[in-house]
A and B are shown apart, each in its own frame.
Chain A
């Protein structure tokens, strides 16, 4: 992503987030039943939307594209990694903001109902994904392993979504994205909530772009270290194979570089 575009997204994310906070805390009226607690709902659903659908959805899609031979590229692996890390932060925030809303509303910080439990399980599953990425392995093996793990973990997302319909739970059903798509929220509240969704989505896009860049730089740094060590090994091989400085005979194995499975024989296609 171009730096100017990234900066633009960052500024837009900041402006919309500040606007959401201002509208949510000082402009919109308190709700008839929930009172001022409704203000938490301008951040909780947008944060949950980013975690469940945007971040983990993008991670699952990227993983699928990596596993598919026709589209296989480390781009998708890096995008999935970036998306999952950002998604884990948003998932944790979903649980925290939900708990802060639940304590005064339900009387408990936490309850083992389907929606909450499946959301917590989702966090654990994607933390496992991040742990799996840190296990040393050949880059392609690691990417495949993580892609499969992301797809397995993503199975929990529809369970989280439909948990309020499938089981009896304290958590209310969908109030905006219900099957009829009828918004049952007052005007200024609905607009503030919508702005919250836009703000958190922009924050997510910016964070994923920056996180992707970090992953790319790490990969390049690893490749440069590999190049240097390969050059050293080749030079050692040449010196041992022919101290006089002549050509190295074909098939000389001394100083051969280690096999790097990340790269197909013959270089990139």
Chain B
């Protein structure tokens, strides 16, 4: 095998393998979140207990941290700038 063929084979092979691993990881997580997402979306966790921050005891008017989807969370000290 020539150096050129080896270079192309390694480069494309690694990129294909990495791309496949990304797709598989994403699918696995999406499947897992779809299973877990049903109770979370209705506000009732899989344990059957009421979700925190709801209308029950402990509600502080802001909904609590549990009510926020992960992509809208802000770290401490953050003042916005949502992309």
Q: Determine whether the beta carbon of B18 is less than 8 Å from that of A207.
A: yes
The contact of A231 among B7, B22, B45, by CB within 8 Å, is: B45
Q: Please determine whether A264 and B74 come into contact, CB atoms closer than 8 angstroms.
A: yes
Q: Are B14 and A89 in touch, CB under 8 angstroms? A: yes
The total number of A-B Cβ pairs within 8 Å is 185
The answer to whether B29 touches A207, judged by C-beta atoms less than 8 angstroms apart, is: no
Contact A231 B52 (CB under 8 A): yes
Most buried by A among B45, B60, B72: B45
- A104 contacts which chain B residues (CB < 8 A)? 3
> With A40-B3, A97-B7, A228-B45 known to touch, is A143 a contact of B75 (CB < 8 Å)?
yes
State the majority secondary structure of interface residues on A.
helix
A210 vs B18: C-alpha distance when bound (angstroms): 11
B80 contact set on A, CB distance < 8 A: 70, 269
Complex interface: chain A residues within 8 A of B79 (CB)? 69-70, 72, 269
Check B66 against A73 for contact (C-beta < 8 Å). Answer: no
Residues of B within 8 A of A214 (CB): 22, 25-26, 29
Asked if residues B18 and A217 are in contact (CB atoms below 8 Å), the reply is no
Beyond A72-B81, A230-B52, A231-B50, whether A93 also contacts B29 by CB under 8 A is no
Flag B26-53 by CB within 8 Å of A: 1 or 0 each: 1001101100110010000111011111
Return chain A residues, CB-CB under 8 Å to B14: 89, 92-93
**Docked CA distance A257–B51 (Å):** 13
Question: Are B68 and A263 closer than 8 Å at their CB atoms?
Answer: yes
Nearest CB in chain B: distance from A109 CB, A: 11
Given A140, A203, A267, which contacts B15 in the complex, CB threshold below 8 Å?
A203
Q: Would you call A187 an interface residue if the criterion is a C-beta within 8 Å of the partner chain's C-beta atoms?
A: no
- Asked if residues B4 and A36 are in contact (CB atoms below 8 Å), the reply is yes
Answer whether residue A175 sits at the interface, using C-beta atoms and an 8 A cutoff.
no
Instruction: Decide yes or no whether A120 CB sits under 8 A from chain B.
Output: no
Q: Flag whether A101 is at the interface (Cβ < 8 A).
A: yes
Q: A100-B7, A217-B30, A260-B65 are in contact. Are A210 and B22 (CB under 8 A)?
A: yes
| Given A70-B79, A261-B76, A267-B68; A43-B11 close (CB under 8 Å) | yes
Q: Which of A125-133, A151-159, A178-186, A218-226 contacts B (4 or more CB under 8 A)?
A: A218-226
Give 16 A-B pairs besides A21-B8, A74-B73, A267-B65 with Cβ atoms closer than 8 angstroms. A17-B12, A25-B8, A36-B2, A65-B81, A69-B77, A72-B77, A75-B83, A76-B83, A207-B18, A210-B23, A217-B32, A220-B33, A224-B40, A231-B50, A268-B65, A268-B68
Among all A-B residue pairs, the 9 with the closest Cβ atoms: A72-B78, A263-B65, A71-B81, A217-B29, A267-B62, A140-B75, A219-B70, A227-B66, A220-B70
Q: Can you list 7 A-B contacts with CB-CB less than 8 angstroms, sorted by A residue number? A: A37-B4, A73-B75, A73-B78, A217-B32, A228-B45, A232-B49, A247-B57
B contacts, CB < 8 Å to A: 2-4, 6-8, 10-12, 14-15, 18-19, 22-23, 25-26, 29-30, 32-33, 36-37, 40, 45-47, 49-53, 57-58, 60, 62-83
